[in-house]
Structure 1
Amino acid sequence: MTQDETELKPAQYLLEERIEAFKNKALLMESCEKYYLLLLSVLVSFISVFLANVAFARCGGLDLTIHKHHYEARATIDQSEDCSIGTYHLIIKTPGRKVSYFTVQREGWLRQMWFEPLNKSQQPSVVLWLQNVGSGSYGKLNVYVPSIKHADLYVRTKITPLSPTVKGYQGHDRYTVTDGSLYLSFPRYRPHDPNCCPSDGQAIFKYDFQNKKWIEQ
């Protein structure tokens, strides 16, 4: 073995050690990077869910307004109120009538509003669809019609809710107003269906104003 080889060996070992240390450091950094990325992903998911829940829990500031020629209906929820419970305010303006004001206790949030004639009437009615926040998403209609006794005002009329004993009914209501009629549709459940997966088709009911009940179509 020459002197040069003897002197080279320690330098070679030192270089190999440094390379190995660099590799270990790189692996450690890669492992830490993956950990931090995973932690960041979890944190972002948590913040997204939190913000979604906050946005859903606070649906105040809602403003539903319909203008039709000289007719106007406006339903609002105060800025500070929750979606699940509180009040809503309704203003109805029509030609030849006084402005009608309502402040109504509610359970659920205002899903949709219609402003059109019902049951062959010549005057428009206001239909408000309220939806519960719970897993069943049960709906409710609040309907305001021109008063017969007080020709210059609107009054709230009662809409009989669908019987909970209807076959396969577990909520998830959807309301529509078509050609002056109220319709309710919902998915039918079989006895052992989970809440996510109804398997017995779709049911459609139409409201009978004369007999005050829902009729299956």
Structure 2
Amino acid sequence: MKHSLPFLGLLATVTGLSLSSCDTTRETVSTAASPATMRSEANGLDTITSYHRDLTQGTTQYNVKTTGDGSMRMLTVAVRQNGRPLASRQDTLDGEVQQTALLLTPGGQPNLLVFVQSAGSGSYGQLYGYWVDGQALRRLPGLPDLAGAASQGYQGHDSLQVLSQEVVRSFPIYAPADANCCPSGGQRTVRYTLVNPSQGWRQVRVEQTSAK
């Protein structure tokens, strides 16, 4: 059957509009997929390993790892004994790991210590401690709050380390008018011992060094 030229022209116009509509739909679907890809890449940043260390005491190995590179990070501690997985646990940190160490109690119980410096201008020191109880990994109590003369002039900026089976906490002393950048009161050191995991930490002495 033959069609007139005006009818064929109208048919071509309608067909062209239909094809144009299909192309627009495909572009919209493709564009909508891009944000999902970006979100996936952003979430991938949380898997960055920002700290990793293995420590060994006898036949027991401790694996310490944090993931994330912002102020909030995930700490994972895994323990292996004689090469076999024994226990693990995770904790959320507000800050970053500065160092790790093993501390033996007087009875020979090994304890894993994770020293953390908080985010923010105060850079407060925190201690995360762990000990193996059978096939479970338990948290040690935190260091006791500073009190009395030991707390005078304290505004954070702690450093924590293990020396001679003691945890040594040092920090600058601030006078009332000191800015955060410029403490003028010298340095104070507080020493702690761990009698056993259930009793927690005991403050044994406080030392102070005057500013020069």
Cα displacement string for residues 136-171 of structure 1 (whole angstroms, at most 9, x for unaligned residues): 110100111232xxx343311112343377101010
1:66 counterpart residue number: 55
Alignment of 1:198-209 (within 5 A): 198-209=183-194
Query: Displacement of 1:92 after TM fit?
Result: 1.8
Structure with bigger gyration radius: 1
Partner deviation per Cα, 1:81-138 (whole Å, 9 max, x = no partner): 2331131111122459961201111111111111231x31313210001111211110
Q: Which residue does 2:158 correspond to in 1?
A: 173
Could you list the runs of 5+ residues in structure 1 that have no partner in the other structure? 1-56
SS of the residue corresponding to residue 108 of structure 1 reads strand
Identity %: 26
1:135 is matched with which residue? 121
TM-score w.r.t. the length of structure 2 is 0.63
* Equivalent runs, 1:138-157 vs 2, <5 Å: 138-147=124-133, 151-157=134-140
Aligned length: 155
Task: Quote the RMSD (CA, aligned, Å).
Answer: 2.8
Distance 1:97 1:209 in 2: 28
Once the two structures are TM-superposed, the CA of residue 77 in structure 1 deviates from its matched residue by 1.9
8 Å contact kept, 1:60–1:83: no
Q: Name the structure 2 match of 1:24.
A: none
- 2:168 aligned partner: 183
Other-structure match for 1:82: 69
- Kept in 2, the 8 Å contact 1:98–1:153? The answer is no
Instruction: Tell me the amino acid that sits aligned with residue 184 of structure 1.
Output: R
The answer as to whether partners of 1:97 and 1:152 remain within 8 angstroms in 2 is no
Q: Which has the higher strand share?
A: 2
- Runs of 5+ consecutive residues of structure 2 not aligned to the other structure: 1-44, 208-212
Q: What are the superposed Cα offsets for residues 32-54 of structure 1, whole Å, 9 maximum, x if unpaired?
A: xxxxxxxxxxxxxxxxxxxxxxx
